[in-house]
Amino acid sequence: MKSENYLSLDFYQNLGKLFYAIASADGHVHEAELITIKEMVKKDWLSFTYTKDHPTNDEVHQIIVTFDRLHSAGNSNGNLLFNDFVTFKNTQSHLFTKKIKELILKTAIHISESFSGKNKSELMLLAKLNIELNKV
């Protein structure tokens, strides 16, 4: 049986959109950012989401699948992707626990730092993300 706070496929797809928006904020997704997102999913997201109510990790990989799909398509509308994430967060706010929010921000920061540190575009998007995640 799934718990009320079950993290759905849509949840992970929206994370993929968000993380792609962060990586593409400077107009280009660098190889280091691709590597970072894959490492963060394996290291942090897979172990974080494993519970008795969520015994498989297939859905977690949708973060990478969505990120890769957007990258392959050359999607350049990071603002739209960010707004999609915010809309999802606002309609599914019960899923965004303190620990989830911390992990989202940690992942976004690691992505932005993975290639030549944070640039102005990424800093602005990280600030917007931080504000959105801290809204009640």
- Indicate the domain borders of the chain: 9-134
In this model, does residue 1 exceed pLDDT 50?
A: no
Contact 97, 83 (CB under 8 A): no
Q: Which of 22-26, 82-86, 115-119, 121-125 has the lowest mean pLDDT?
A: 115-119
Contact 101, 50 (CB under 8 A): no
Q: Which of 4-13, 48-57, 70-79, 117-126 has the lowest mean pLDDT?
A: 48-57
Three-class SS state of 54: strand
Give the model's confidence band at 27: pLDDT under 50 very low, under 70 low, under 90 confident, else very high: confident
What is each CA distance from 110 to 10, 33, 70, in whole angstroms?
23, 8, 19
Predicted TM-score of the model (pTM): 0.88
Question: Which pLDDT score, from 0 to 100, does residue 58 have?
Answer: 75
For the segment 53-65, the average pLDDT, to the nearest whole number, is 75
In this model, does residue 47 exceed pLDDT 90?
A: no
In this model, does residue 111 exceed pLDDT 50?
A: yes
108: exposed, middle or buried (C-beta count within 10 Å: 0-12, 13-18, 19+)?
buried
